Amino acid sequence: MMTYKEFCLLAQELLEKKCKDGTRVHLSGQYKNNGGFQEALCVLEEGSNVSPVLYLRKYYEAFASGMSMDEAVEKLLAEYEKKREKLLDDLKALERELGKIVQLEEAGKEV
C-alpha cells in the first residue's frame, strides 16, 4: 500500500502532467483555520495570480478505500478548476467594488 507521503508526491506529479503547459503544482503544508495541519497542492498557471489550494487527505482516504489513482487525480483536477473559477469571479467582483470606491472618493463623497 502506498503511504500518504508517496500518494501526495505522486498526486503532485500526475496533476502537473494533466494541467496545461506552464502550470506549476507544488506540495506544501497548510495550517487550516481549526489549527490543524494538512498537506495540500497549490496550482499556479503561468501568468496567473490565483493559486487554489487542494487538500489531499480526503483523496488519500478514498484511494486507500479503493479509488484508482487516475480517478483521484481527475477529481483533484475538477476541484482545482471549480476553485479557480470561483477565485476569478471573486476577484472580478472585488475589482468592481474597488472601482466604485475610487469613483466615490474622486467625486469627494464619504466612503
- Count H helices and E strands in the chain, helices first: 3, 3
The pLDDT, as a whole number, for residue 27 is: 93
Does residue 74 have a pLDDT over 70? yes
pLDDT in tens, 21-67: 889 999 988 777 877 888 999 998 888 877 888 999 999 999 999 99
The pLDDT, as a whole number, for residue 110 is: 66
pLDDT-derived band at 71 (thresholds 50, 70, 90) equals: very high
pLDDT in tens, 5-31: 999 999 999 999 998 888 999 998 877
pLDDT-derived band at 103 (thresholds 50, 70, 90) equals: confident
Scan for cell 494533466, then name that residue.
18
What is d(CA 8, CA 2) in angstroms, rounded to the nearest whole number?
10
* Whether the predicted model's global pTM rises above the 0.75 cut: yes
Task: Please answer whether residues 77 and 14 qualify as being in contact, where contact means their C-beta atoms are separated by less than 8 angstroms.
Answer: no
